[in-house]
Structure 1
Amino acid sequence: MLDTHDTHSQQVNQPKFSTTMIMVRPRQESQKFELLLVKRAKTLRVLPGFMVFPGGVIEQEDLLMADVWLSQKPVITFNSMALDMQVPSDFEIESSLVLGEHVDKTKLFWSLYATGLRELYEETGVLLLSNMYNSARVGQEGLADEKLIDLPSLTTWRQVARDLKYLPPARYFGRRVTPSQVKYRFDTHYFICTSPTNVQLQLSSDEIESAVWATPSEILNEFEKDVYLMAPPTVDAVSALNNYQTLDELLAQGRMPLQVYDQKRVNDFISRMS
């Protein structure tokens, strides 16, 4: 989740690499699709009480996981091509310094991908990793659609992730960078993944207050009525998703528009957070 204790990086106000995972599923008896949004706990320093997609900042283990995958070359389930051939052309960062390490474009992309899968598990209990073609879920049976629990340690995630034959497909959706005027800054990369069938959420009690499945238009309506608090990048993502009529269209063509800075919008957001 987007929270930080790195005071030095905040002093220099450099954006941290992070990943947002947009989990989607078909709306029953409809051509529409719905998204998973989670409400951040009010005790968090960054965006307390805001509706967001699961996600968080890149960690050292994500860089290590990318090394493992690039060495073992598990296949992507929808086309069976080698992992290092799958970096999309619209991922425009050629190389960067991440946690003190210079990483190239391929490793950075798959590190961010690992971040998204790990954070999705940490926050919702959904494990989109399996040695089968279908996605898997860990946890107790019989839970309601959402329940606040303390998830097991990430040992399970690490063990599964290090021994994969297949990786779940996730479409790269776009990027947003927090403006320099904002205190906590993130260079966030968005991925779209499909939800496992009949998934049951197990929400991290430390970070997540509640969760909701809703269509993009329903989410935007709640935001416009001030029922949902959402940061500008989340609004951008939901607005972009609202342009697609079906899940098949989204998964085939989905892409966020390039970021356009609106100073009034930035000032309004900063004022709201003060």
Structure 2
Amino acid sequence: MDADRPGPGEELNDTGTVTEPRQAATVILLRGGERTLEVLLVQRNPEQRFMGGAWVFPGGAVDRSEGEGDDAHRAAAVRELAEEAAVEGLDPASLVRFSRWITPPQVKIRFDTHFFLAPVPDGARPEVDGGECVDLGWFTPRGALERHRAGELLLVFPTIKHLEQLSAFASADALLGFAAGREVVPVVPRVVMGGEHARILLPGEPGYDEAS
């Protein structure tokens, strides 16, 4: 991926000191069952310094009170979903691990984010808090990407790459079946500078192993 400027929350670190990533968790909330696949995205308040205006999956940093390890990530994911989208009633143990992304060392604000899948609970009516998040919507992964390309939705790199991966699945059930019991390997993108442009590489892409 090439960019002439970083997205919100993706500003590069010019101090030379690598920031320790904070532990974080995110829920990719699903609906559609065996028929289709839609995911919930929330829009962060444009006035926020970090990812202001971007549409993201509900999530955030792990609180110290939530402890460490997998249980802490699950607890944080459920809490953030309730805080940002008013969706409650999820059992943390029922969340399905999907991916783990660690922000590149070259970026100022870094997170070690664990992504979980969960079907929307029966009767849930997502609603934003009006502070941290100002809007929300259900989107097919392909539809969200199309609206981003049309300039209608601001998406950041990790969200784009997850939506691209989710686009391969015809239904929420198919996605959950794929992810159940799957080994999750951490993904650490790397940033390669070329003049005024920044190129983000993922593991397996040409030049990734050579990038520092």
Q: Is the helix fraction higher in 1 or 2?
A: 1
Paired residue type of 1:20: T
1:247 is aligned to 2:172: yes
Question: 2-side partners of 1:202 and 1:47: how far apart?
Answer: 20
Q: Choose the corresponding residue for 2:19, options 5, 13, 16.
A: 13
In the alignment, structure 2 segments of 5+ residues that lack a partner are: 1-8, 10-16, 201-212
Q: Answer yes or no: is 1:206 the counterpart of 2:131.
A: yes
Aligned length, in residue pairs: 179
Deviations 1:38-70 (A, max 9, x none): 00001211100001000000101211xxxxxxx
CA displacement 1:124-172 (0-9 Å, x = unmatched): 111134xxxxxxxxxxxxxxxxxxxxxxxxxxxxxxxxxxxx6551110
> Which consecutive segments of 4 or more residues in structure 1 shift more than 4 A?
255-258
Contact kept, 8 Å, 1:56 with 1:115, in 2: the verdict is: yes
Q: Which runs of 5+ in 1 are unaligned?
A: 4-10, 64-106, 130-165, 270-274
| TM-score computed with the length of structure 2 as normaliser | 0.76
Contact conserved, 1:37 with 1:213, CA < 8 A, in 2? yes
Question: Identity of paired residues, percent?
Answer: 29
Which of 84, 87, 96 pairs up with 1:123?
Answer: 84
CA distance in 1, matches of 2:185, 2:161: 8
What is the TM-score with the length of structure 1 in the denominator?
Answer: 0.59
1:55 maps to which of 33, 56, 59 = 59
Query: Which residue of the partner structure matches residue 31 of structure 1?
Result: 35
CA RMSD in angstroms, aligned pairs only: 2.6
Q: Which string of whole-angstrom CA distances, capped at 9 and with x for unpartnered residues, describes residues 71-99 of structure 1?
A: xxxxxxxxxxxxxxxxxxxxxxxxxxxxx
Alpha-carbon contact 1:240-1:257 (below 8 Å) kept: no
After superposition, residues 102-141 of structure 1 pair within 5 angstroms as 107-129=68-90
1:64-103 paired onto structure 2 within 5 Å: none
Write the letter of the residue equivalent to 1:241: L
Alpha-carbon distance in structure 2 between the residues aligned to 1:210 and 1:181? 30
One-letter identity of the residue aligned with 2:112: D
Aligned to 2:154: 229
Larger Rg: 1
2-structure distance, mates of 1:128, 1:19: 17
After superposition, the C-alpha distances for 1:191-250 in whole angstroms (9 at most, x for unaligned) are 001101242123112101100101111011111222211111111111111111122211
Letter matched to residue 29 of structure 2? M
CA contact (8 A) 2:18 2:105 kept: no
**Residue equivalent to 1:155:** none
Change (3 A) 1:180 1:121: same
1:187 correspondence with 2:112: yes
Are 2:202 and 1:263 equivalent residues in the alignment? no
